[in-house]
Amino acid sequence: MVFSKILRAGEGKLLRRLNKIADAVESLADDVADLTDAELRAKTDEFRERLDEGETLDHLLPEAFAVVREAATRTLGQRHFRVQVMGGAALHLGNIAEMRTGEGKTLTGVLPAYLNALTGEGVHVITVNDYLARRDAEWMGRVHRFLGLSVGTILSGEKPAHRREQYACDITYGTNNEFGFDYLRDNMAWSKADLVQRGHHYAIVDEVDSILIDEARTPLIISGPAESAGKWYVEFARIVPLMRRDVHYEVEEAKRTVAVTEEGVEFVEDQLGIENLYEAVNSPLISYLNNALKAKELYHRDQQYIVTNGEVLIVDEFTGRVLAGRRYNEGMHQAIEAKERVQIKDENQTLATITLQNYFRLYEKLSGMTGTAQTEAAELHQTYKLGVVSIPTNRPMIRADRSDVIYKTEAAKFDAVIEDIAERNEAGQPVLVGTASVEKSEVLSKLLVRKGIPHEVLNAKNHAREAHIVAQAGRLGAVTVATNMAGRGTDIQLGGNPEFIADEVLRARGLSPAETPEEYEAAWDAALSEARSQVKAEHEEVTEAGGLYVLGTERHESRRIDNQLRGRSGRQGDPGESRFYLSLGDDLMRRFNGPMLESMMTTLRVPDDQPIESKMVTRAIRSAQTQVEQQNFEVRKDVLKYDEVLNRQRTVIYDERRTILDGEDLADQVQAMVDDVVGAYVDGATETGYAEDWDLDQLWTGLKALYPVGFTVDELLDRVADGEQAALSAEDLKRALLDDVHRAYEERETTLGPEVMRELERRVLLSVLDRKWREHLYEMDYLRAGIHLRAMANRDPVVEYQREGYDMFNVMLDGIKEESVGFLFNLEVKTKEQQEAEARAKQAEAEARALAAAQAGTARVRARQAAQAQAAAAQAAQAQAAATAPAPAAPAPAAPTGVPGGPAPVAAEGDDRPTASGSPAVAPASPEKAPAASPAASPAKAPAARRSRGRHAAPEPTAPAAEEPAADSGPQLSVAGLEEPRRSAEQLTYSAPSLDSSPAETGRAKAAKTATVTGTKEPARNAPCPCGSGKKYKACHGAPSRS
């Protein structure tokens, strides 16, 4: 409370400054209004020239805002109110502007976006879903395009080349997840040509409390396929339904945790047929059990997820939207799939991860807009250094917020809700009904159908129609059932939304602000005027009926979500009303103080259909929401504390990657690596004992695996120690080996050439760094999974995580150096020219073979034809002799088959079996058929044979994924033993903020715990190696072999 007062101490001073800015903008209105469209558009170039000459954005602000205000009036027919100008100035100054729903936050954001885009460094406008990003880019983009700025949109599923174009625009709209994932993908890229983002200059975050607070509990994670263990998910999906709550396990819904009792452990051991579930070899099974229990008790169909076409899809708790392509981590998604008996997809391992907190800290300047931020002002200031300023409303709010009513049972609550809706609907008053889950919205919809009340349902299952549904929610007699209106970004106007109606009319004619901007703008004024006339009369009728009535059927765990639902009514001074209907069966009431209230109502014999209203109930609800918000805040702080450790390491690695991708000369850096590695080898061999005790033979064995050592131990001793090892100093040894390794590296560079060597250095460093970083993420996840146990030894888990994480990071850096040096010396390298020369040589060899085969076939055919002609002549001579002979005589013996000069045997046509001599049999066929006996002689088949031989003889090098290499990317190399298979987009999984409030582990930590189970043959990667070396299996016999 005290901290909040301190934070708001300077708010009055800031508001006075914002008022002065608004006065300055207002004073320029008439001058700007006199400008023609061309003159107004030319202001953009003028502002940029003035910036180049040294003026600041703050100095340009009043004039730039006045220009944007006039442009919006001309293009959209909407003029910024004074309070919107104040909000825009607050955003430019790096604050969070708290503006009530309906005050025009989207239009407000145009002002600072234009001003900051003048620098040419790019502005990111971040919202909560693809629909809003596309809508705002098209709608507000009309203003920016009118003023000569380019506008892009980042949507899910777009190709990298298209994304790169959108990021190159002056202003780019998109969702927080897409911006974050693009940042992670950029730091997995193998060439500069694969990068899509161009920096983090300025960001405006819409619904900032939802993105920076609610969704900050879970990090963004890009994962790839890991080892599958699907049978255990199925097995525990069979066992868990047999287990009884409060007997075999206990559930604490407030903390979203489950705990197995001793009786439950015995039950599972009996089901699996094992002696001890907690033996080391069986311990991975515990995570399967816990996930299966959570899937049963904490994750419910049509609430936390839906099942569509045999696939489990997550439903965002805060917005009610389906998070397409998102999956829970640590095997939780697989457990739900097993429970629902759909196909179980493989677990994933983390490839890249970052929290939203640390992603948004990358921006040089950050600002945001929301209707509800003051309740979280302390956290926003602590985490992001952002101040919150409440912007006054344009008109006084006259909405009537009624007190909550609570019923004993859910059925009684819904009966009362239906009666209230029916009464309002009969009077023509529009009603917006908010529900907490897809399941509840469908239950309510069925009750409305039964009552005969026409209505629209807006939930995660039909969000494609949501814009149309919400645009009509303020019309006369409309009833709209919505799953969490939070984050919709929509303005419900009484009588309908004229801009939306006009846009629909123009789109029906085939016009679009993005594809046909000139035709769209030409037709816009007439369409908007007609839509406003249509809406005006209905607006008056709805106002007389009482305005929009917002009815909440359940309190959300966050007060902000409730306030946002209420805020849909009473915009811009319109009348309105709101009320929440609750029951003791609601999730929030059941988790906090529900049993106590139910006992009280039972004691007082309150009928089921009798609602109660009391201060105690209000306090209980407020207390429950406060507890949940505090728990979520602790989770976010916990996530941030641990990610701070990883963030410092990530910054080092990603900066190093960018240096490599930028094509900088790495020769000095590589030379330092070589010196460090050889020096470390020498230090390790000489750190203990006297010189005569050093095992130089073992040192030489290690060094020879690293690089070609140029002298033997004896040669070294003769040269620097007169042949006596006892006279050898560590400094002399190190100096001699460093000189030798420098000589070897120079020879390597001379052999390959400087240009090829630089490219090899780049490729090796990228490959090794990426692989080592992934392994490090695996280790850090595994460390994070068990670090809380240190608290049992009175140690601070965070401090322990920092200390061990630092040690592990240093080990990783040493590993990067050692492996890189080894690869640089030992990998076989071929340039593109060498590959092409080899391919040409092998193709020529294949063609020569084909030609020789063809010539041999021709010779064989001619020989057979000659033999056949000779045999025919002999037969003719014999016949003639027989005809002229006076009497029959005994025939002369024929020459043996296969003997030169003898006749060739005759075979059936098409029979090419070898004869006794091994030559193919040839049928006495016509000359046209004779060549067919030799496939090599066929002109049609010879090229095919050459293509086949060429393809197998000279495989092409792996190409960059779907992108041409950059012009400055260096020579293209084929490096045996270094190439890693590129993961296709289909192989990657994206995990983003979801509803799970428990601290999230990434997939690797769980994979480490689930890799070995009873009956498997291979030990877990982090288990001790069975050989008895004392090392982990992955670092010993489980290590990938080098080629």
Q: What is the mean pLDDT of each run of 10 residues along the chain (1043 residues)?
A: 48 85 92 92 94 92 94 91 93 90 86 94 90 88 94 90 94 93 91 90 89 79 70 90 92 81 90 80 78 91 88 80 74 90 78 87 91 79 86 83 85 92 91 87 91 83 63 86 66 80 84 81 84 84 88 85 82 86 81 64 68 73 81 81 88 90 83 91 84 85 87 85 80 90 91 87 90 85 78 85 91 90 84 69 76 74 74 70 48 38 37 36 35 34 34 33 44 57 58 43 32 35 48 54 40
* Residues 889/903, Cβ–Cβ less than 8 Å: no
What is the reported pLDDT for 940?
A: 36
Predicted local confidence at residue 201, as pLDDT? 95
Domains and CATH numbers, the chain: 2-216+357-390 (3.40.50.300), 228-345+986-1011 (3.90.1440.10), 407-612 (3.40.50.300), 1016-1043 (no CATH)
Contact 354, 182 (CB under 8 A): no
- CA–CA distance, 672 with 654 (Å, rounded to integer): 20
Q: Which amino acid is at 902?
A: G
In the block, which residue shows the tokens 């001579």? 877
Q: Which run of H or E residues covers position 352?
A: strand 348-354
* Separation of alpha carbons 578 and 431, rounded Å: 10
Q: How far is CA 632 from the centre of its chain?
A: 23
* Nearest 10 degrees: Cα torsion 599, 602, 607, 613: -40
Give residue 174's pLDDT.
Answer: 93
**Angle CA(170)–CA(174)–CA(177) in degrees, nearest 5?**
135
Which of the 8 DSSP states describes residue 692? G
Residue 961: its pLDDT value, please? 38
Four-residue CA torsion sign, 915, 919, 925, 928: positive
Residue 498 has which token pair?
């004229």
- CB neighbourhood size of 259 (10 A): 11
- pLDDT of 228 reads 57
Q: Which one-letter amino acid corresponds to residue 892? A: A
Alpha helix positions (H), 452-547: 466-471, 498-508, 517-544
Q: How far apart are CA 218 and CA 998, in angstroms?
A: 9
- The reported pTM is 0.68
Residue 438 CB neighbours (<10 A): 23
CA-CA distance, 80 to 28, in Å (whole number)? 14
Sequence-ordered list of residues with C-beta below 8 angstroms from that of 669, at least 6 positions apart, any chain: none
DSSP state of 351: E
> Tell me, what's the pLDDT at 570?
82
Residue with tokens 């046209």: 928
At 850, which helix (H) or strand (E)?
helix 832-884
- Concatenating the DSSP letter of every residue in 211-261 gives HHTGGGGS-EEEEEE----HHHHHHHHHHGGGS-BTTTEEEETTTTEEEE-
End-to-end CA distance of the chain: 64
- Crossing angle between the packed helical segments 797-826 and 730-752, to the nearest 10 degrees: 60
C-alpha distances in Å from residue 1000, one per residue of 221, 643, 708, 1009: 11, 11, 47, 15
